[in-house]
Amino acid sequence: MAGLYLHIPFCKQACHYCDFHFSTNLSRADELVDAMAQEIRLQKGFFGPVSTSIETVYLGGGTPSLLTKDQLKRLFTAIHSNFQISPNAEVTLEANPDDISSAALESWIQLGVNRLSIGIQTFDQAALAYCNRAHNATEAMQAVQKAQAAGIYNISIDLMYGIPISNTAVWDNDIRTALGLGVPHISAYCLTVEPKTTFGHWAKIGKLTAIDEDIAAQQYDTLVERLKQSGYEHYEVSNFALPGKYAIHNTNYWRYHPYLGIGPSAHTFDGQNRYANVANNIKYISGIQIDPDNKTVWRSIETLTGDEKIGEYLLTSLRTQWGADLIFLKDQLGYHLGPSVETMILGWVADGLADYISGQKLILTDAGRLLADHLTLKLLP
């Protein structure tokens, strides 16, 4: 399965916790779109024969819903002119609630978008303002309802727990409200205070105290319990889906499938190497336009060692409900779990942290997935 990712590096305003690559200056959005269309043309042969069809297209960011209809159309035209997109492809657009209108939805549907990932984070007005989100609580609710009214039911919403001024009652209400919207997919992340953000600065000067880890863990436990009771599968540490409604694009990352990333800061994986595009809009535009064939100007290459491949596969696969395929690990990545590692895994099984079929599968339980990174480190060669 092949996936295509487009990073749209613009946002209306900077959320206080965010350290993704984006700019709030849209003056060069047209040039950026043209450069991305050019990169798509340059990468035409990435997936091999033209007959290789792309199963997922994901526009993330940043805020893809900020682009105009014409800008999005230019990107989709470039995609369809250079790649074979499967007729059943999952085509996701990340959208913020304040950008979702009937007209915008209609244009996205016309372009082939069939799935939305809506950045709600919380339905609490005070918490939204504290995080400097651009939308309000009413827009958060209405965004989902408008999308459903327009005929898009394949919707994921992002929620965030561990917000410093939030509390258990607010989080309970966020979960209840999310469930009431009837969306098939929910992603939930803990707010982390990153150094180069406003919250990072506030923490440094004593204006913000990160939420107690135990309280954040309780909020996560509540989420897992409530969503499972409501029929959602907890299929990855931070992701929940009604049966069959997994995010195919992200699931392919976790299954070690190749993907091509287009745009500033986007990453690419071809099975052997990782490529990282420069995380700077101006450098990206000039690199693509001035010296398109010299790819080192606008992206860097990292060839993964055998051990790094094994580590990446274990780190990502063990976060999912499908776990690590030990046959793939042995045949494709050359790593066989030795007797001492097997003994350790049997200890995890006895402690309720893992399920294990010798030589075939290692799957972490819910309790084990909470410790996924820690346990994975113990498996590394």
Residues lying near ligand SF4 in the complex (CB under 6 A) are found at 11, 14-15, 18, 20, 22, 61-63, 96, 119
Closer residue to ligand SF4, CB minimum distance, 22 or 83: 22
Nearest approach, Cβ of 21 to ligand SF4 (angstroms)? Answer: 8
Nearest approach, Cβ of 324 to ligand SF4 (angstroms)? Answer: 31
Closer residue to ligand SF4, CB minimum distance, 62 or 323: 62
Closer residue to ligand SF4, CB minimum distance, 34 or 98: 98
Q: How far apart, in whole angstroms, are the C-alpha atoms of residue 65 and residue 117?
A: 10
Judged by phi (left if over 0) then psi (alpha if -120 to 50, else beta), residue 285 lies in alpha
Q: Which helix (H) or strand (E) holds 269?
A: strand 267-269
Nearest approach, Cβ of 11 to ligand SF4 (angstroms)? Answer: 3
Nearest approach, Cβ of 246 to ligand SF4 (angstroms)? Answer: 22
- 3-state per-residue secondary structure call for 163-178: CCCCCHHHHHHHHHHH
Q: Would you state the structure tokens that stand for residue 155, as one six-digit string?
A: 């919707």
Nearest approach, Cβ of 135 to ligand SF4 (angstroms)? Answer: 9
Nearest approach, Cβ of 256 to ligand SF4 (angstroms)? Answer: 26
Nearest approach, Cβ of 367 to ligand SF4 (angstroms)? Answer: 30
Judged by phi (left if over 0) then psi (alpha if -120 to 50, else beta), residue 112 lies in left
Nearest approach, Cβ of 61 to ligand SF4 (angstroms)? Answer: 5
Nearest approach, Cβ of 117 to ligand SF4 (angstroms)? Answer: 11
Contact 143, 97 (CB under 8 A): yes
- CB atoms closer than 10 angstroms to residue 367: 12
Cβ burial of 70 (10 Å; 0-12, 13-18, 19+) is exposed
Closer residue to ligand SF4, CB minimum distance, 277 or 317: 277
Residue 199's alpha-carbon distances to 133, 142, 165, 194, 331, in angstroms, are: 13, 28, 12, 7, 45
Backbone angles phi, psi at 234, to 5 degrees: -90, 85
Q: How far apart, in whole angstroms, are the C-alpha atoms of residue 139 and residue 58?
A: 23
Closer residue to ligand SF4, CB minimum distance, 142 or 286: 142
Q: How far apart, in whole angstroms, are the C-alpha atoms of residue 298 and residue 301?
A: 10
Closer residue to ligand SF4, CB minimum distance, 89 or 144: 144
Backbone angles phi, psi at 212, to 5 degrees: -60, 135
3-state secondary structure of 29: helix
Closer residue to ligand SF4, CB minimum distance, 11 or 100: 11
Closer residue to ligand SF4, CB minimum distance, 20 or 153: 20
Closer residue to ligand SF4, CB minimum distance, 17 or 240: 17
Nearest approach, Cβ of 272 to ligand SF4 (angstroms)? Answer: 30
Contact 119, 158 (CB under 8 A): yes
Geometric angle at alpha carbon 272, from 266 and 276, rounded to 5°:
20
Q: How far apart, in whole angstroms, are the C-alpha atoms of residue 191 and residue 198?
A: 13
